[in-house]
Amino acid sequence: MPVFNLCLKIFRRNWLAVFIYVAIFVAISVTIAITSVHDQSSGNGFTQQKAKIAFISEEKTPLTEGFRQELAKHADFVSIPDSKEQLQDALFFRQVTYVLRIPKGFTKNILDGGTMQIEKTIVPESVENAYIDIDVQQYWNLARLYVRHDPGLTQEQLTERLRQNLDGDTPVRMNVHEHAKTKDSFSMYYFNFLSYALSAILIMGISTVMIVFNKQDLRRRIFCSPSSPLKVNLQIILADLLFAAVALVALVGFCFLLDAKSFTTPNMPYFLVNAVAFTACITSLSFLVGNLLNNLSAMSGVCNILTLGPSFISGVFVPQEFLNDTVLKIASFTPTYWYVQANTKIAKLTDFDWQNLRPVFTSTLILLTFTAAFAALSLVVGKRKRLME
């Protein structure tokens, strides 16, 4: 099989360009894996962030001390001098996000049923401050309630009852569906980004082979050989399919090395089927590009356009939900868009019935339609080139 061996020789000569794309792909995949593991480890529970507070009390009573101890559960106290300028500077430089001041006479006002409020100065739109507001309102509203219904309580008794009431915690149990672990996880991001690396590798490799074999001198020499055109074309197709299969297996293999557990999920077979369909589509596109181009010097530019362009507008680098509707409509004319669509749907699958799988199969079917269209165009262009010789 001399033609087949020649194709493999051409692939080996282009190993540097292929290696560059693989190296970039692996580097970004490792970054995604590290980020994904961090997100998953921190996303299975809830930890309340403590606010940094400047606590200033103009009086010291059992109630205010009890309030300070209660507030310490959800806040870190920062010592700031009681100066307007220094407090403002502390807020500006985020040394604190909440300045809380208890005015003189506040405790007596509470015990007398008054409505005096605690003074506060905060950094706007700080999430931690919302929890502090809840703690403040909860403590002093409960204190007013006790004073109203049991006015004979001393401050020490009232403080102790508030402590007992507020000591209770409500346990929260977070249930995560076993099959939902791949949602927005490493597998989805990995297979989405795989489309960029795989497209670049296949276009660079297969199109180069087609350009070489479409050179007039080489084609005439092949026609003079004992091999029939059918055998020559079959050997070229076989070599290209082998190259595509090796590229896909190698890239998917990195996924297994980085996240072997994902291969045990029921979502993984659908990721793999979708990747195979996309590989077939890009392989036929590479045939078309190789038949359209006449020289190797334009290959790099065309490859970047056909890989980077669809990747930016189809959701590979930026999730589709963040892209403009007009951009997505344009992207829908590319196979990468439907590949990413299918991956997104696969990652969210928890029930694998026909109703949930139908959108996935629809996107994959559109990929196969692109494959047939590119293959047909490639045959037409190749035939016209041969007739013009």
Q: Could you tell me the CATH number of the domain that includes residue 94?
A: 3.40.1710.10
- Of 115, 132, 166, the one marking the end of a domain is 166
Q: Given this model, what pLDDT does residue 368 score?
A: 94
Q: Given this model, what pLDDT does residue 308 score?
A: 86
- Of 134, 166, 198, the one marking the end of a domain is 166
Residues 31 and 66 in one domain: no
Tell me if 252 is assigned to some domain: yes
Residues 143 and 229 in one domain: no
Residues 57 and 8 in one domain: no
Tell me if 375 is assigned to some domain: yes
Q: Which of 382, 377, 371 is nearest to 335 (CA)?
A: 371
* List of residues 6+ apart from 208 with CB closer than 8 A: 10, 14, 290, 296, 299
- Say if residue 388 is exposed, middle or buried (CB neighbours under 10 Å; 0-12, 13-18, 19+): exposed
Using DSSP's 3-state secondary structure scheme, residue 389 falls into: coil
Residues 273 and 150 in one domain: no
pTM of the entire structure? 0.63
Residues 235 and 149 in one domain: no
Q: Given this model, what pLDDT does residue 276 score?
A: 95
Residues 200 and 138 in one domain: no
Q: Given this model, what pLDDT does residue 341 score?
A: 92
Residues 300 and 253 in one domain: yes
Place of tokens 């045939």: 287
Tell me if 177 is assigned to some domain: no
Residues 113 and 259 in one domain: no
β pairing state of 51-57 and 98-102: parallel
Q: Given this model, what pLDDT does residue 169 score?
A: 65
Q: How far apart are CA 19 and CA 279, in angstroms?
A: 18
Q: Given this model, what pLDDT does residue 34 score?
A: 60
Residues 333 and 233 in one domain: yes
Tell me if 135 is assigned to some domain: yes
**What domain range includes position 142?**
51-166
- Of 137, 166, 195, the one marking the end of a domain is 166
Tell me if 46 is assigned to some domain: no
Residues 162 and 80 in one domain: yes
Tell me if 88 is assigned to some domain: yes
Q: How far apart are CA 156 and CA 140, in angstroms?
A: 15
Q: How far apart are CA 334 and CA 272, in angstroms?
A: 20
How many domains is the chain partitioned into structurally?
A: 2
Long-range contacts of 18-27 (CB under 8 A, 24+ apart): 18/201, 18/204, 18/205, 18/247, 21/197, 21/200, 21/201, 21/204, 22/197, 22/201, 22/250, 22/251, 24/197, 25/193, 25/194, 25/196, 25/197, 25/251, 25/254, 26/254
Q: Which helix (H) or strand (E) holds 52?
A: strand 51-57
Strand partners, 100: 55, 120
Concatenated DSSP letters of 172-209: ------GGGGGTTSHHHHHHHHHHHHHHHHHHHHHHHH
Residues 235 and 309 in one domain: yes
Q: Given this model, what pLDDT does residue 171 score?
A: 64
Residues 11 and 104 in one domain: no
Q: Given this model, what pLDDT does residue 181 score?
A: 44
Per-residue pLDDT of the chain (389 residues), as tens digits, is: 777 787 778 777 777 767 777 777 777 766 765 665 444 444 445 566 788 899 999 999 999 999 999 888 888 999 989 888 999 899 888 889 999 999 999 988 888 888 888 888 888 877 778 888 888 888 999 989 988 888 888 889 888 888 888 886 666 665 544 444 444 467 888 888 888 888 888 888 888 888 877 776 776 676 676 667 677 778 888 888 898 899 899 888 887 887 788 788 888 999 999 999 999 999 999 888 888 887 777 777 888 888 888 988 988 888 888 888 899 999 999 999 999 999 999 988 888 888 889 999 999 999 999 999 999 998 888 777 766 65
Tell me if 133 is assigned to some domain: yes
Tell me if 213 is assigned to some domain: yes
Tokens encoding 240: 């290209």
| Counts of helices then strands in the chain (DSSP H, E) | 15, 4
Sign of CA dihedral 128, 134, 139, 144: positive
